[in-house]
Structure 1
Amino acid sequence: MPLQYLTKTLFILFLILVNLTGQSSDNVSIVTVGQHKIYKDQFADRYIDYLLATGIKDNIVVREAILDNMINEILLYYYDDNEALFSDVEYKKELAWVEKQSVLAYLKDQEVYAKINVSEKEVRQAFARVNEKIAASHLYAPTLEEAENLYKLLEIGVDWDNIAAQVFTDSTLRNNGGYLGYFTWGDMDPAFEDAAYSLKIGEISKPIKTSNGYSIIKLEDRNPHPLLTEYEFQTKKSKLEGVLSIKKKPEYEKKYLKSIFDESKYSLSEKSLDNITTYFGFSDIGKKENSYQPNSNETCLVYDGKKYSEQFIIDQMLQIPDYHRTKIISKEILKQAIKGILLQNLLYSEAIKKDYIKNQLVIDVADKLKMQVFLKYKMQQILSDIKVSDSLLYQYYANNLESFKSLNEISIQEIIVDNKLFSDSLIIMLEEGSDFGKLAKEFSLRDFSKKNNGIIDYAPLSKFGFLKSNFWEAEIDEIIGPIELQGAYGIFKVLGKKKGEPKKFENINKNDIEYAYKNDFRKTIREEYLENIRKNVSVRINRIVLNSIDILTQSTN
């Protein structure tokens, strides 16, 4: 589960659980599954969770579907053979991970979000801005140094439009002086908005840091609402307070983290970093290599006078679930991961001091997330254990030839340079008829393509990463770019494309066909698997209780 999704899930669960706190204890059971029961309050908790998350209205069909899911969970967890799963190292590791993340999410909720303060003045200012459209132009730069250079050009009198023509690759912004048109509060990056709304018409800001880089902003016009009433303000006040609280979250998070972690007290050994990199390997840091044995006496990092050994850091990293750890594919990412490990430990210590680990809301959220982890691994186990005959696989292959094609391939030409303004100049030269290959040979930084006039022969489209869609959708001989590439800038030309062709059955790895088959029929496989368990377990549903639950009352008690 990705971290961003996990954080969002945790937050929703906490809100739901807070709403349910104080709910009356009602031990009327809805279902008996073998020796286990599902009670009315348990169902209401789960059902309200689902309604709030999806926006679906209460109806008996959805009630039965949610109840059926709860029954299936009991069948899979208590009435199937889970000995191998419960002893699986990665499964246990992920359970411990979500339990820890539940505690950290509650810490953030209580120590950061609960302390966000929005003043009356801020709400009124937001109300005014929501009802005022402004128009602005901007000059963009990826770094502060480049932005300050642009600002100096403006100070010495260089024309705004001339600078815009140089900094933008987008033809519209290049030709209109970076004009963005009219927008209102909430439409743009928060830092950009705050700066723009604070300007007078015609005034130019200094470089402003945004989420995408730096902008120099010029306010072009204001279009305020002619008449605003106190009644309108009061009706929108609550919503505006919520929006302002969300906008303030990053600021409060940074402030809290600074109170926990002092960067000046942190130091990392480059030697140990190299050793740990060797131990895991760049190609797949989730898999242990034997080329280096960790030294428990070798200090990896020091924080606030406390030393942490290489062995400690490696042990901590091995506790991270594989789906997170395999994302650590470079020394630089590893460096950030080690700092993250320390920070999480410091935050977890704070949570323990405050007894958040024993909080019932935290325990309930952790239990729900643990069940999600169980169901994920259980489904993997079910699919892995199912055997599919060769005849069925061939029939599936014949009906899905498009899914078993060779990879799409593409050939391109590239020019890679390290300067944005120079890349823009090259684009102009190409538009004026300069030869792409000669420019690549003379200026491109990447040796292996430079030697071949920038030509990269046919390769699978997937090899081109985030650029693959740009290349595949482009016309032959179309120029693309400049595109920023981790501090460099790329200009590309599509030379040719090859569409994938269906492969012969005997040339395809059987495991690949089986994986695709099981993925397509996973719902059917799961239902058949559950049906076999149900044959041996008594399931009794009290539909009178199910139908009579007053969800509105349950959610407000």
Structure 2
Amino acid sequence: MKINITVLLVSIFLLQTENFSQSFNQPYVARVGSKVITDSEFLERYEFTPGFRRHIKQMDDSNKLEFLFTLIAEKLLALEAKNLKLDTTEVMQFSRKAFERMFVRDKLFQEEIRNKISVTDKELNEATTKNNSKLYVNFLFSQDKDEIDQLYNYLKQGISFDSILIESPEYEEQKEPVEVLFGQMEETIEDSLFRMKVGEFTKPILTPDGWYIFKLVNKSQNLFFTDEDKENAKMTIVRIVENRKLIKRQKEFYAEYFRNKKVDVDGKLFEILAQKISSVFEYKRKNFTYQPNQPTYLDASDVIKIEKEIGDENLSKPFVKFQEQPITLKEFIRLLAFDGFNSKEYKINLIRASLDFQTKRFIEQELFYREGLKRGYHKLPEIQNEIEKWMDNYLFQMLQNQIIDSIQVTDEEVREYYELMNQPKEFPTVVNIIEVLTDNLNIVDTVLSELKKGTDIRVLAAKYSIRDFTKGRNGEFGKFPVTSYGDIGRIAATMQVGDVYGPLKVPEGYSIFKLIEKDTAYVEKPKTFEQVKDQYRQDIAFQKAQMKLTDYTYNLALKYNIELNIPELDKIQTTRLPSFGIRNLGFGGKITAVPILAPNVEWAYRWIMQQNKKVIP
């Protein structure tokens, strides 16, 4: 159902604007019960939540209103979830603590690392000089110090660099000199290269890979013709210099902070956990389809299985033995899953190595978190607001999932639906999409960047998508009714051919898709009941869930009293570029820039009509 929201809302705004001027001294776009949606929250959520047709200027007002109602729906279900005490459940208490850990650590990073670095004009000038040049080098390599020293002696005796290189195994990868740009190499190596004159070579340089001797073959200017090129170059220079100083400061802080700190781990519990994870991952990789480089993740069902097998006695034992408030094995397993523990292998020695790395990383992060607690960072309004934003989204998802899980479909309903639908008839909306499905946020970012450059989504789907049934056809689904595939089908129904949407959070990860076909009607030959009964059961469940969620949200809107401040919403200036962000957290970890929401506005049409009845007798 599509109605002109702006027209319907006009009379409502006349009443509610006065209420807002009396209630708030700060800019808000809406109040939902006890919750307010500030200008800043709306703008941040809007800009980092994917949406289609945002490039059309004439749709700015409609896009903003629809997203506001989507955001209001999240707040309504979050409020009701609290009313139902879902926030007191073990899983929500755990999630709150996990978010607190992340944001307190991030605050410590800002205070101790980011805020303690500065970039001088001299450093920027030196970096700019380097950035204005391209270097072309060859290199000799060895993992043996005696061998590299011997090669260096040959060079000092006058033996030609090229004559040694042509006899070396690394010659094949550098028949043409290797191009080196500012920021590509470790800083001390880079300094050595940029100081050289053409034809000179370095002393042996030790790297994590082994020993290198570089020769500068040629040097050219890096030209920037347009103002945009110059501005991008300037931004790149600042980013590289800042990142290098961040890394240096972080190393200093680690050395200072971890001096004389020691935390033990229970070795027996470690081995039990490693064996259980290895067993679970082996089963999943042998019984489900995985691409060669696709990792296996420790998910909620795995946690339940592992905890059941380990038993309450071992789960309650201290695993990470901090002097105060040690972490039990149960808590550690859940934090491990929350942080996305994964592995491409299941063999026990590799699982041990991966688990050992994650355990050490956890201890570091937990110590940083506890340092942040000592400083009171968890009490700061900015941290509390971040936690509440994410907890609202989690509570919304939890209650929404409970509603969906409560849907029951009887055999009689399926049979009736079959009799109704499985006739030669015209279906109202059938679509076909090309999809990239991934569970990796970095791949999401890469795909969106490539799409902006004009890369064909079929090429990206062939390379990155993990959905089994679209393999071999470059991510293409084939035609399907929009009642299928949950939110993918529902959103595709509102798109135009050529539109791209995503990322959309789905159970398998993140979906980015392009609508390539849309038919308003087509005829399908009848199928047998056995052929379609399972799909029809899913279709009915989805339809019933959507209707129930719409009704539920509408009733919550009446219960909690929504107030809108549309004049304030009109003031907010948004971009027309589809955006998606990943937030890299201080001391490790990443999340999406904001909680991602799928469009949810059907309930709002009923609410608007109901409000207009109050205003217009």
Pairwise TM-score range, normalised by the shorter structure: 0.5 to 0.7
Contact 2:316/2:330 (8 A) holds in 1: no
Change over 3 Å in CA distance of 1:105–1:176 after alignment to 2: closer
Amino acid paired to 2:106: A
Change over 3 Å in CA distance of 1:208–1:357 after alignment to 2: same
Instruction: State the alpha-carbon separation in 2 of the partners of residues 263 and 68 from structure 1.
Output: 53
* Counterpart for residue 108 of structure 2: 107
Deviation at 1:356, TM superposition (A): 1.5
* Counterpart for residue 46 of structure 1: 42
Residue among 307, 312, 317 paired with 1:288: 307
Instruction: State the alpha-carbon separation in 2 of the partners of residues 296 and 80 from structure 1.
Output: 29
Deviation at 1:193, TM superposition (A): 4.0
Alignment of 1:26-175 (within 5 A): 26-27=25-26, 30-31=29-30, 33=32, 35-36=33-34, 38=36, 42-48=38-44, 50-51=46-47, 59-79=60-80, 83=84, 85-138=86-139, 146=143, 148=145, 151=148, 154-155=151-152, 159-163=164-168, 166-167=169-170, 174=172
Residue among 194, 207, 210 paired with 1:209: 207
Instruction: State the alpha-carbon separation in 2 of the partners of residues 356 and 61 from structure 1.
Output: 39
Deviation at 1:101, TM superposition (A): 0.9
Contact 1:275/1:294 (8 A) holds in 2: no
Instruction: State the alpha-carbon separation in 2 of the partners of residues 358 and 295 from structure 1.
Output: 33
Deviation at 1:288, TM superposition (A): 1.3
1:60 alignment partner, SS class: helix
Change over 3 Å in CA distance of 1:301–1:375 after alignment to 2: closer
Instruction: State the alpha-carbon separation in 1 of the partners of residues 362 and 181 from structure 2.
Output: 40
Deviation at 1:94, TM superposition (A): 1.5
* Counterpart for residue 254 of structure 2: 257
1:177 and 2:189 aligned: no
Deviation at 1:348, TM superposition (A): 2.0
Name whichever of 525-534 and 340-349 sits farther off.
Answer: 525-534
Instruction: State the alpha-carbon separation in 1 of the partners of residues 556 and 69 from structure 2.
Output: 14
1:374 and 2:374 aligned: no
Instruction: State the alpha-carbon separation in 1 of the partners of residues 248 and 109 from structure 2.
Output: 13
Instruction: State the alpha-carbon separation in 2 of the partners of residues 114 and 534 from structure 1.
Output: 43
Alignment of 1:204-283 (within 5 A): 204=202, 206-209=204-207, 217-224=214-221, 240-262=237-259, 265=262, 268=265, 270-277=267-274, 282-283=279-280
1:197 and 2:194 aligned: yes
Q: Which runs of 5+ in 1 are unaligned?
A: 1-24, 168-172, 404-464, 474-503, 553-557
1:125 alignment partner, SS class: helix
* Counterpart for residue 320 of structure 1: 335
Deviation at 1:188, TM superposition (A): 5.6
Instruction: State the alpha-carbon separation in 2 of the partners of residues 272 and 97 from structure 1.
Output: 22
Contact 2:131/2:182 (8 A) holds in 1: yes
Change over 3 Å in CA distance of 1:380–1:248 after alignment to 2: farther
TM-score, structure 2 as length reference? 0.52
Deviation at 1:98, TM superposition (A): 0.6
* Counterpart for residue 447 of structure 1: none
Contact 1:279/1:294 (8 A) holds in 2: no
1:283 alignment partner, SS class: helix
2:167 alignment partner, SS class: helix
Deviation at 1:347, TM superposition (A): 1.2
Contact 1:379/1:526 (8 A) holds in 2: yes
**Structure of higher RCO (CA pairs closer than 8 Å, 6+ residues apart):** 2
Deviation at 1:260, TM superposition (A): 1.9
Deviation at 1:154, TM superposition (A): 3.3
Deviations 1:186-217 (A, max 9, x none): 4566676445334443314534536x887653
Deviation at 1:97, TM superposition (A): 0.3
Change over 3 Å in CA distance of 1:235–1:30 after alignment to 2: closer
Instruction: State the alpha-carbon separation in 1 of the partners of residues 196 and 544 from structure 2.
Output: 59
Q: Percent identical across equivalent pairs?
A: 15
Change over 3 Å in CA distance of 1:402–1:242 after alignment to 2: closer
TM-score, structure 1 as length reference? 0.57
Deviations 1:164-190 (A, max 9, x none): xx34xxxxx72643632x443245666
Change over 3 Å in CA distance of 1:222–1:298 after alignment to 2: same
Deviation at 1:159, TM superposition (A): 1.9
1:358 and 2:379 aligned: yes
Amino acid paired to 2:249: Y
Deviation at 1:236, TM superposition (A): 7.7
Instruction: State the alpha-carbon separation in 2 of the partners of residues 226 and 74 from structure 1.
Output: 51
Change over 3 Å in CA distance of 1:401–1:385 after alignment to 2: farther
CA RMSD of aligned residues (A): 5.4
Deviation at 1:380, TM superposition (A): 3.5
Instruction: State the alpha-carbon separation in 2 of the partners of residues 261 and 510 from structure 1.
Output: 57
Deviation at 1:359, TM superposition (A): 1.6
Instruction: State the alpha-carbon separation in 2 of the partners of residues 194 and 296 from structure 1.
Output: 52
Change over 3 Å in CA distance of 1:80–1:104 after alignment to 2: closer
1:543 and 2:566 aligned: yes
Instruction: State the alpha-carbon separation in 2 of the partners of residues 146 and 96 from structure 1.
Output: 46
Name whichever of 218-227 and 53-62 sits farther off.
Answer: 53-62
* Counterpart for residue 553 of structure 2: 530
Deviation at 1:545, TM superposition (A): 4.2
1:117 alignment partner, SS class: coil
* Counterpart for residue 337 of structure 1: 358
Deviation at 1:131, TM superposition (A): 0.9
Change over 3 Å in CA distance of 1:378–1:205 after alignment to 2: farther
Deviation at 1:114, TM superposition (A): 0.7
Deviation at 1:299, TM superposition (A): 8.2
* Counterpart for residue 450 of structure 1: none
Deviation at 1:102, TM superposition (A): 0.9
Instruction: State the alpha-carbon separation in 2 of the partners of residues 336 and 402 from structure 1.
Output: 40
